[in-house]
Amino acid sequence: MRPFSEEPSAKPARTSPLPLTWPAAVFGLFFGVAMTYAPYEFHAAYFRPLYPYVRAMGMAYLASSIVLMATMLYPHAPRWLDVMGRLGFAAVTSLYWWVINVRTGGLTGALLYPLLLAGLALEASPTWRRREVFRGVVSLVALSFGVVMLVARERFPPVFYATAAHLLLPMGLGFLVCGVGLLSPASTRWPRLPRVLLGLLAVDFFVLAWAMGRTGSVPPASIYLVLTVSCAAVAAGFQPRLPRTVGFKLLRGLAFAGLVPLLALGALGAWLAQGAIESQVREDTVRAAAGEADFLVRYLDDARQSLQLVLETPAFREAFAEGNRVEMEKHLRNFPAQARAFDAAFVVDEGGQGVAASYVQPELGTFFHRDYHAGVLSTGAPYVSRPYTSQMGLPHVAVALPFKSQGKLEGMLVGLLSLERLSAAVTPAAQRFRVQVMDRRGLLLLRDTQAGAPLLSEAYVPPALRLRPATGEEGVVETSAAQDQRILLAADAPVPGTEWSVVVTQDLGVAYRAITRTSVAFLLMLALGVLLMLGLSQLVARDIIRRLDTLREATSAIGKGELGRRVPEEEDDELGDLCHGFNDMADRTEAAQAELREAVRLREEFLSVASHELRTPLTPLKGFAALTLNRMEKLGDFPERERTLKALRSMARQTDRLTRLVDDLLDTSRIQAGRFELERARVDLVPLVREVLERFELRGQEGLRFFLESPELPVEGTWDGPRLEQVVTNLLSNAVRYSPQGGTVRVSFHLTPMDVELQVQDEGIGIPPESLAQLFQPFSRASNATARHFGGLGLGLFICREIVQRHGGTIWAESPGAHRGSCFHVRLPREEPATSVAAAS
């Protein structure tokens, strides 16, 4: 898949299409990181159905987004990987869309996410891959948003859009106009129009992101922010292209190799750390509830002891027994100042009639209707009443202690415990949690550390804790607060010896703020580590990039003809091996070029020599033929018979020479084409050599002397006689050509049971040592032969070598030096070797 445009646009004004996959992957990456590393930030009540699965959704978002980014950066990645990434992203987004938007009636999300997933599915198709899917999806989103904002503004919850409520009408018009404009044919008629409309949409999406962010709705704000940046990028004409340099590819690989494991390990570490801190926070919450219950027990014990001290005072007991109101009130008036937990105290007799009080009250009235009167009478023990508003107009709880005389209940001492002072008491739990103390008999609020909470009202008990006060269970739960749509961490504990219960609650985001801060710090360290790693990797990769640049420059230089260019093999690594291979290739290329130049030179030399050699016999042939024809026409008889015969003999020699040249060319062509074959038979080599030698003697070549040292017995073998005759003729022809006048040419045999060696020795110009190695190559001639302008094409010895080698033999030349003659050796096996054909081919 090629996610970026690689070809220039047909119309300069149109931008390359931005793949929708990029904004989707960025959105998924943001969600994945937030849900994995800071799951407690998703503590709003509308997230309650998904909250238990936030971490799993975050991991799914992370994995699918990373896969999508990888397939975008690596266009040749397997197609199944791209499909798996899109399916994973679609699955988790569909779950989020159904629970958060469809079930709750969130209209904008219910419209946005299906269009996003449809566009993502279209981009997986090769047919749609290079079309402007992003622009189409954004157009449909804008059109649907505009219609809804104009027709059904009430569907936009004020809690989310309170800051942008007055902008819904102009925003709806803007969305509608931009959506219609992008979908209309006018966008193709005026190429700049889509960019202008996308710029306006970027403003609208930014306003939505700002409105959502102001209310703390980070998830929807993030998708609108991604759409804002994407629309602004397309409107600005940004054309994404993948750099094709090795440096970028190394950076891309290192980024993925570093980022993906770090994110995975970080997610695992965050999950473990979150689990540990979460357990600690839960334990702290339970301990806070238990600690608050202990505080209340001590608070009530201190209150009872204060009342008990007054009750045990002898003077007070005596006055109580005598019914001396004046004396009792003396003791009671000092009591509130000594026991600051109480606002007042009074004495009630057995019948419930008020006897004395710490406050001035002419008639105290009766208290038999109070629950503490019945409670003390029935139990004969101290009793804590239900909360109520006393005669003083303040919220109180009555603490009643029985007064007994000689084992008989005579009355009770009642202290009015101030609930306002109880609520103002500072405890360790109150510094971190919201602490509520309620009476289980009516769920009336006795203490609330939240400012402004009315006492004696019905206490708010989270739904998960409503049944627990009756059962006496303890523990911590996560529950929702109906008033402000938050998720709470709550724990409760009963107060022993009373009908009271303690409920401590804390906002989930506040409770786990330490985890969130740790995760954010880890993410910042992760980002810093990745940036540092990438920076250091560029320093490390600089050497590799430099060596690759050197190799690239050398390759370009060789392509331009600088065949001597080489690269240094700096280190013994893969690049060093590559440089070594490049240098070897360059050496071979340079050698091949040298051989090619040499072949061209030889071809040109051959053409020059061949032209000269072919012209040489033709000139005298033409002249002698014209001369003979002229004489025969003029004279009619042949008075100059000798001269005519001499001319005819010269014509015959030149014809033979021309025939040999043509035969050599034909044989060379057959050899190079692989059509040179032998016809073997039993041949005696001595008569063959003698016959060739006699032909040269009959010609009387330059007064040369020819000697043949032949054995007495026949020299027989399975050979191709005509081809061996050609070899002997070529060797003797060279000996005659390069021998001085009056020189000697010797032909001899050296026999073994398996081989026959033929030697042709002359006393000619010799062969320079530097020419011996190339002597049997096609078109090759000794340097001294070329300098002295001896005739020949340089094919005879090449043909001799091929004939001898195809017989399974060898041929070589020896020369003691210049002007000291030369000797050619031909060694032939007597029988046809089994591998002769294969060796010849």
DSSP of 153-179: GGGS-HHHHGGGGGGHHHHHHHHHHHH
Indicate the residue type of 716. E
Amino acid present at 192: R
For position 114, what pLDDT does the model report?
A: 92
Q: Above pLDDT 70, what percent of the chain?
A: 77
Is 553 strand, coil or helix? helix
Question: Averaged over 617-628, what is the pLDDT?
Answer: 68
| pLDDT confidence band for 323 (50 / 70 / 90) | confident
> How many angstroms separate the CA atoms of 339 and 415, rounded?
10
pLDDT score of 838: 41
Chain centroid, CA 348 distance in Å: 84
pLDDT digits (tens, 9 = 90+) for 370-384: 888 888 888 888 888
Span 769-818, pLDDT tens digits: 888 778 888 777 766 665 444 556 677 888 888 889 888 899 999 988 77
DSSP symbols for 588-604: HHHHHHHHHHHHHHHHH
Amino acid at 142: A
Burial class from Cβ neighbours inside 10 Å (0-12, 13-18, 19+) for residue 158 reads exposed
Model pLDDT, residue 789: 43
User: 756 or 647, which is more confident?
Assistant: 756
Assign 629 a pLDDT band (cuts: 50, 70, 90): low
DSSP summary character for residue 366: B
- With a cut of 80, say whether residue 95 has pLDDT above it: yes
Counted residue by residue, the chain has a size of: 841
What does each C-alpha distance from 815 to 380, 603, 821 come to in angstroms?
A: 146, 27, 6
In 351-460, alpha helices (H): 371-379, 419-424, 428-432
Read off the pLDDT band of 294 (50, 70, 90).
very high
Per-residue pLDDT band at 84 (split at 50, 70, 90): very high
CA 132 – CA 124 distance, rounded (Å): 13
- Angle 70-73-75 from CA coordinates, rounded to 5°: 95
Beginning with the edge strand found earlier in the chain, give each strand of the sheet holding 744-751 in spatial order.
705-709, 744-751, 755-762, 822-829, 810-814
pLDDT score of 705: 87
- Tokens describing residue 742: 């009056």
Classified as helix, coil or strand, 387 is: strand
Q: Say whether pLDDT at 748 is over 90.
A: yes
- CA 421 and chain centroid, separation: 64
d(CA 450, CA 457): 14
* Report field, pTM of the whole predicted structure over 0.75: no
pLDDT at 87: 93
Report pLDDT for 747. 92
Alpha carbon distance 506, 436 (integer Å)? 11
Q: Which has more pLDDT, 608 or 230?
A: 230
Partners of 442 in the beta sheet?
none
Of 148-152, 387-391, 643-647, the range with the lowest mean pLDDT is 643-647
pLDDT of 824 higher than 90: yes
Is the pLDDT reported for residue 500 higher than 80? yes
**Mind listing the pLDDT tens digit for each residue in 212-247?**
877 767 777 888 899 999 899 888 877 666 556 666
Confidence band of 619 (pLDDT split at 50, 70, 90)? low
Which is higher by pLDDT, 762 or 161?
Answer: 762
Determine the pLDDT at residue 818: 75
Task: For the beta carbon of residue 250, count every other beta carbon within 10 angstroms.
Answer: 19
3-state DSSP assignment of residue 384: strand
Query: What pLDDT does 12 receive?
Result: 39
